[in-house]
Amino acid sequence: MDKKLVYSWLDEHTGEAVSLLKDLLRIPSVNPYFDDEESLKGEGNAQRCLQAFIEQMGFRTELSYPDAQELIDYKDKAGYNGDHTFEDRPNLFGELKGEGGGRSILLSGHMDVVQTGSKWTHDPFSADQVGDTIYGRGSVDMKGGIAAMTMAVKAIRECGIRLKGDVRIGTVVDEEAGGMGTLALVARGYRADGCIITEPTHMNLAPLCRGILWGKIIVEGQAGHIELKRQDWKEGGAVDAIDKAAYILEYFKSFNENWAHTKAHKYLPIPCQIKFAQFEAGEYPTTFANHAELTFDAQYLPQDKDENGLGGKVKKEIEDFVAAIAATDPYLKANPPRIEWILDADCGETFDTEDFFKVTVSCLQDLCPDAIVEGNCAHTDMGWFCNVGIPTINLGPGDSKLCHQSDEHIEIPEYIQCAKVIASIILDWCGVSE
């Protein structure tokens, strides 16, 4: 009966839920590390908007600012970026105390969004509504999820339901540029017995996310006139770095075939692979390339994390493979290619044997019988929560394929449905006081 009351309240107050989402969308919160107008950058105003809303609901709140120096002990771990600054970029933490005797839950999401981008047909910060569709940068990634989790708690409160366990809200900064916000939140000691990150999953349940590595394979050649006969490279003859890069690329076909078996997961639709995204080489049309760079994206599974929660083991696997390729070619053996690592975004997993998984999947299937369990192929902020022992799942409204695109948008029915599912999870997980 409690759940039906909550669902009815959300249906009857769809307008209020839409207003909250629109308020958040109309406040630009572009991560400062993207190239965009200065007036659009920073998360502070959006965080204060949400802070005011949840304080009216009875939450005790706190704004705190990540600080690279205060987090120096984490410098080799996931999320740490020593050059990131956080002026007017606070994390928001709120707590609504329960009656006691129940389990606590943390509802989390990131308030920063990516750059505005181009080719919008709607103002990206006007929260335009056309029928049941709301447009705006961050509508899917991920202010829609933040608003849904907030409205779920409000519905429970407005229905007069008293929870046994505490409800905590933690909205973070900087996810789109490395995740230092979540690191700072965890470092301050905030914990719960379970956590929902409302990243867009299209209402599927994602109990894991993959780690992401970016790197460059750098190949040095020897310049020379491209139209003339080449001397032996040992005598100073030209070596085409493009040819050598292509030689390396060919070997990665077998590497990915192996990973298709060894880096697969039952809850992921595709296995981890190394995908080459950029190729830069050469200086002039009549000169053999003396330098080539192959930029790649490699994914890894939570089971492959190293002692720092990152992809150190996978980095070594890739480095060893490139070294083995070089050993098969006389020039590359004498002039080994090197790898420059650019990014290492961490990952996490909550196993389907855990109670939190069982509660969330049961509540989801009651309301969304067609929903599936499918891990997130991209990065989310769940890694640090899992690292400190908090079972965490990703569950939120919106199609992730719309993230970072022009005309990013969310559908109101799915947004409200998500609020209902989260409310159901809160009720079952935290418990209701009689």
Show which residues are catalytic: 112, 175
Number of C-beta neighbours around residue 214 at 10 A: 15
SS3 content of the chain, % helix, strand, coil (to 5): 35, 20, 40
Residue 347 Cα distances to 149, 192, 241, 289, 375, angstroms: 22, 19, 35, 38, 11
Cα separation values, 258 from 84, 217, 255, 261, 299, Å: 37, 20, 5, 6, 14
Pair of tokens at residue 110: 């990131």
Which segments of 304-337 are extended strands (E)?
A: none
Q: Which token pair is 157? A: 């409160």
- E strands present in 200-321: 208-209, 211-220, 274-281, 291-300
The SS3 call for residue 347 is: coil
C-alpha to C-alpha distance for 191 and 188, rounded to whole angstroms:
9
